[in-house]
Structure 1
Amino acid sequence: MIETIIHRYKNKSFLIAYSGGLDSTVLLYQILKIKKKIPQIKIRAIHINHNLTCHSKKWVQHCEKTCIKHQIPLIIENIYIDLNEKNIEEKLRIKRYNVIYKHLLFDDVLLTGHHMNDQCETFFLSLKRGSGPTGLSGMSLETMFGSKKIIRPFLNITKKTLLLWAYHKNLNWIEDFSNSNINYDRNFIRQKIIPIFEERWPFFLKNCLRTIKICQEETELLTNFLNKMIHGLIKFDGSLNIITFKNMKKELATALIRHWISLKKIKAPSYKNIQSIYYQMIFSRKDANPKIILKNNEIRRYKKSLYLIEAQPNFTNRFLFWHNINLPLTLPNNLGYLEEDNNGIILPKPKNNELINIRFQYEGKILILGRNQKRKIKKIWQEKNIPPWLRNKIPLLFYNNIFIGALGVFIIKIDNINKETWTIAWKNNLLSNHRYIFSFY
């Protein structure tokens, strides 16, 4: 299997996740064996020191020694975590993969030593969490890792097989004694659960793998179906049109919502969160402004569409004074800056004794240019198709306490104001102010 993979990607370079343990050691030596036949392949290794035990430095030295011996460039990175935190295994995994991703070059393929036992342990962890077919699908042999590819060539091989190969080749590897600590869920499954199943049913691991493959096939079929169906529901701005969801079977509607969120490349929401999104977004009042928080993101509804936006701090009560108009005024939270610019918005100029200030909230009725009647500012925002979560991110210009306008949206009609004008440009990236940097969960 591994030689087939290397032949298929021989024009690329390979980054090996090298812990120094049995699995990654066998992976490293098998790649070296193949390199003798295909000398042009490029190999690098990366070792992540978790700094969890006093043996960590010795493990780093072992990996350095091995890589120097075989002339393999080695990257060493350190990660740290508070041992009093919950879900240490999960948090370390996230940190580890995010660090690895930063070191992947343009044409790199990441290789890991995950094997059949790891796959079955992952399956049990997913059962414990109450996962559906997608979660029970476990790890794939090949999958995308952000914009890169991750390949796990040993997924169909048992740990026992790797162990026999390592003994046969007289390999040296690290024994991580923390793997016997059953306080960690994966270790508990590895040490206490799977051995009992294997003793009773010797073919349990292979049957477990077959179940995982069935789940993978079912998930792939569902994904293909949802891809076709959702194509006509996603709007140009990435929002999800939910106008027909009330008349749709709940199972289909929630599957579409979950699939739409998965396309945003964020951590999959829980079953409970999906149910909350369904009921609050589909069935709440038309004039409601529902919000579901998903860690660093929010699901919002606006005009019969769902939006996934990055959560932003609230600064509605913040005032900014622009004392020197010859210098740009930086706005908070990466909203850009204001500067006097001939290509900007034409506005009445402030009088010498007026303080220019920027706010992000206003309540009440206003009269904007081009109208002869006051309207609530909320109605003006709606007319201008400004979603609620963007309204308190638009700079509101004031001279002293006089509201002058919402920059780029409207100007207030005011009598007895300075007839002289000036131009202000708001230079920002508000509509596309989302993180597109890959983050592994």
Structure 2
Amino acid sequence: MKTGAKPVTGFSWPESLCAPVRGLPEHSRLWVALSGGLDSNLLLHLAVHCHGGRVPVAAIHVNHQLQLNANQTEAFCLAEGQKLGVPVVVRRVSVEKAGSTPGVGGIEEAAREARYREFEAVLEPGDLLLMAHHADDQGETVLFRLLRGTGVAGLGGMPGSRPLGNGLLVRPLLGLEREVLVDCARDAGLSWVEDPSNDDQGYDRNYLRHAIMPRLKARWPGLARRLKHTANACKESDFLNHRLAEIQLNELADESGRLSVAGLHKLSLAEQKNLLRWWIRGRGFPPPALSDWARVMGDFLEAGEDREPELRSGGYSIRRFQGMLWLVRDAVDIPSSDCWLEPGQAVEWGEWRARLESASGSNPQMPCSPIRVSTRQGGESFRPRPNGPSKRLKIWMQEQGIPPWERPRIPLFFAASGDREELIAVGDFWCSEQYSGDAPAAGWRLVVERDCD
């Protein structure tokens, strides 16, 4: 992407606005999220003034195709980029309107998700995406999240920077009030396009902006500054919560990251909640929204050993087994009927994959007979050790510590042995010497792999 962006001439940009835009993290290219509004267009001009010619500067405009002036706004962004010598990438998205209503979630959330997907798609390693959120936006965010009942993490507001896709999202204007930006944009003679939906108070954020914030500012001057202090205090509290959870996780977790029930017993309810939330987030899932943590923790920590308490949430569940809490991803579907495994034809079985390989250095005298893949039907027995005693599969699984929720899903492999079938492998837990080792007796090696991600 070419450089050569053209700064606005004849205007002296205030240092109070230039300083945060100059003080960006190291980068190889700058993107500006350009909506066409006052804030984002001002940020684009600042980026060109502070960095144009040093690194490539580009803009991305996401056309949600929701407003009557959407195409007019798109054309304005393209023209503004041409005037500055800045390439503008336009991404048109379709946001589902059916069933969407103003307020929490709905069309606002759908548009935001679509927008951020496009941002992620363009960012490459070393890229920064600048967004024009300011102190008034931050104040609205804190109040909005307060009304939604969020915790200290949410009340910390929008971060000044965070990873996004392969790049980094940065909000350099977050410490400046919008009044300052408006004055600067007007003094510089900038133009912009107003989004007509910004005046619709049916949307929660617009209601806060137009009906609530002005009255709060009139009553409490310096409101944005006050809310900034609150957000910073909540960020510090959230940081300390994370540090405490990290310390306690190191003390209570085993090598696989499971949590000790006995160790959790020693913590207060507040510490238990904090640790579980951090533990769940660390595995890429959102913590559950629970109104009665005391009851839930009681189910996990106080239930008898013969019980199997479970908490289901979005994409995962928390279970207790052998004195530990396990976080279990939702299972992939397994085949509804038996499969047959043959050389050259791998079998997918839920999170397992199986294949047959000709053993190195061996020369099978005949083709490998198909191997049947199934699950437990009850009553299966096998010999875990050559010439050892036969053992019930159910008992063996219990002895191996295989969790109860996994046992019905594990693929079992059966091979013909005379006029009967013989169990030759149990998932990736055990395989007969006939089909394993450096020189399997059958001349074929059974390879079973499991996706543990």
Q: Do the two structures share a fold, i.e. TM-score over 0.5?
A: yes
Aligned pair 1:161/2:164, yes or no? no
Where do 1:31-110 residues align within 5 Å? 31-35=47-51, 39-85=53-99, 87-88=105-106, 89-110=108-129
CA distance in 2, matches of 1:374, 1:85: 57
Displacement after TM superposition at 1:106 (Å): 0.8
Residue equivalent to 1:152:
171
Displacement after TM superposition at 1:120 (Å): 1.5
Residue equivalent to 1:408:
428
Q: Which has the higher contact order (CA 8 A, sep 6+)?
A: 1
Displacement after TM superposition at 1:188 (Å): 1.9
CA separation of 1:276 and 1:327: change in aligned 2, threshold 3 A: farther
Where do 1:193-212 residues align within 5 Å? 193-212=212-231
Displacement after TM superposition at 1:226 (Å): 2.6
Aligned pair 1:430/2:451, yes or no? yes
Q: Helix, strand or coil for the counterpart of 1:222?
A: helix
Residue equivalent to 1:358:
373
Q: Helix, strand or coil for the counterpart of 1:362?
A: coil
Q: Helix, strand or coil for the counterpart of 2:181?
A: helix
Aligned pair 1:186/2:201, yes or no? no
The partner residue of 2:140 within 109, 121, 136 is: 121
Q: Helix, strand or coil for the counterpart of 2:182?
A: helix
**TM-score normalized with structure 1 length:** 0.83
Residue equivalent to 1:227:
246
CA distance in 1, matches of 2:367, 2:381: 19
Q: Helix, strand or coil for the counterpart of 1:219?
A: helix
Displacement after TM superposition at 1:99 (Å): 2.8
CA separation of 1:229 and 1:409: change in aligned 2, threshold 3 A: closer
CA distance in 2, matches of 1:334, 1:48: 37
Displacement after TM superposition at 1:115 (Å): 1.0
Residue equivalent to 2:321:
302
State the identity %: 24
CA distance in 2, matches of 1:308, 1:215: 28
Displacement after TM superposition at 1:339 (Å): 2.4
Q: Which is further off, 110-119 or 12-21? A: 12-21
CA contact (8 A) 1:258 1:268 kept: yes
The partner residue of 1:374 within 391, 396, 414 is: 391
Displacement after TM superposition at 1:189 (Å): 1.6
CA distance in 2, matches of 1:357, 1:156: 65
CA distance in 1, matches of 2:253, 2:312: 21
CA separation of 1:334 and 1:227: change in aligned 2, threshold 3 A: closer
CA separation of 1:409 and 1:217: change in aligned 2, threshold 3 A: closer
CA distance in 1, matches of 2:292, 2:193: 41
CA contact (8 A) 2:145 2:155 kept: yes
Q: Helix, strand or coil for the counterpart of 2:252?
A: coil
Displacement after TM superposition at 1:170 (Å): 1.5
Aligned pair 1:19/2:47, yes or no? no
CA distance in 2, matches of 1:279, 1:216: 30
Q: Which is further off, 399-408 or 209-218? A: 399-408
Displacement after TM superposition at 1:180 (Å): 1.9
Residue equivalent to 1:437:
none
CA distance in 1, matches of 2:348, 2:277: 35
Residue equivalent to 2:402:
386
Matched AA of 1:58: Q
Q: Helix, strand or coil for the counterpart of 1:231?
A: helix
Residue equivalent to 1:251:
270
**TM-score normalized with structure 2 length:** 0.81
Deviation string 1:220-255 (CA, Å, 9 cap, x unpaired) is 222223323322333332333333112321111111
CA distance in 2, matches of 1:328, 1:40: 55
CA distance in 1, matches of 2:263, 2:118: 42
Where do 1:322-361 residues align within 5 Å? 322=341, 325-333=342-350, 335-342=352-359, 356-361=371-376
Displacement after TM superposition at 1:85 (Å): 4.0
Residue equivalent to 1:421:
442
CA contact (8 A) 2:357 2:447 kept: no
CA contact (8 A) 1:358 1:397 kept: yes
CA contact (8 A) 2:249 2:275 kept: yes
CA contact (8 A) 2:343 2:355 kept: no
Matched AA of 2:398: Q
Displacement after TM superposition at 1:163 (Å): 1.5
Q: Which is further off, 166-175 or 86-95? A: 86-95
Unaligned runs of 5+ in 1: 344-348, 435-441
CA distance in 2, matches of 1:146, 1:111: 14
Matched AA of 2:259: L
The partner residue of 1:173 within 183, 186, 192 is: 192
CA contact (8 A) 2:343 2:368 kept: no
Displacement after TM superposition at 1:11 (Å): 4.6
Deviation string 1:180-218 (CA, Å, 9 cap, x unpaired) is 222222122222221221232232222122211221122
CA distance in 2, matches of 1:199, 1:368: 81
CA contact (8 A) 2:371 2:414 kept: yes
Residue equivalent to 1:143:
162
Unaligned runs of 5+ in 2: 1-16, 361-365, 435-439
- Larger Rg over CA atoms: 2
Q: Helix, strand or coil for the counterpart of 1:421?
A: coil
Displacement after TM superposition at 1:312 (Å): 2.1
Displacement after TM superposition at 1:138 (Å): 0.8
The partner residue of 1:238 within 257, 267, 271 is: 257
Q: Helix, strand or coil for the counterpart of 1:150?
A: strand
Q: Which is further off, 382-391 or 219-228? A: 382-391
Aligned pair 1:29/2:45, yes or no? yes
CA distance in 2, matches of 1:227, 1:45: 39
The partner residue of 1:395 within 411, 435, 438 is: 411
Displacement after TM superposition at 1:316 (Å): 6.5
What root-mean-square deviation, in Å, do the aligned CA atoms of Structure 1 and Structure 2 show?
A: 3.2
CA contact (8 A) 1:397 1:406 kept: yes
Deviation string 1:272-296 (CA, Å, 9 cap, x unpaired) is 4866753333333334333323222
Q: Helix, strand or coil for the counterpart of 1:33?
A: helix
Count of aligned residue pairs for this structure pair: 418
CA distance in 1, matches of 2:21, 2:325: 41
Q: Helix, strand or coil for the counterpart of 1:255?
A: helix
Residue equivalent to 2:339:
320
